[in-house]
Structure 1
């Protein structure tokens, strides 16, 4: 499975930056769907009030998904790679 990687930087409640990648099936082109995945993740981190738009989240590249990523996408539609401040 090929996935699109969306590079995301969000300002947290405390003013620090949270950097994570949203991985979703390459076929998903609707930006609102991608942002919704990110908002679900932010809610799980108690950061649901953080802004997530094209300013914070941009397409980065396409890559081949690992088994772990495929499993997550099959279960919830997306996968998150936590980078910094998560």
Structure 2
């Protein structure tokens, strides 16, 4: 358990070990959410990635990708068009 002091401006310093565990770097945005009466915080980039992965689940199969080689070929084809 870690403790952080709140400044007069409502700011806190997130302890280093927690920043490292959550992969929080300078300039990152933090998301706060409430669940079952408790508040939590997460790196907003991690949350965005989780949401994206959930929304894209099954999309590669629908697009006809069978393996990572298909994805690499697709990306190369797109880059050639630009």
Could you say which TM-score interval applies, normalised by the shorter chain? under 0.3
Q: Which has the larger radius of gyration?
A: 2
Higher RCO (CA 8 Å, separation ≥ 6 residues): 1
Q: Which has the higher strand share?
A: 1
Normalised to the residue count of structure 1, the TM-score between the two structures is 0.24
Normalised to the residue count of structure 2, the TM-score between the two structures is 0.25
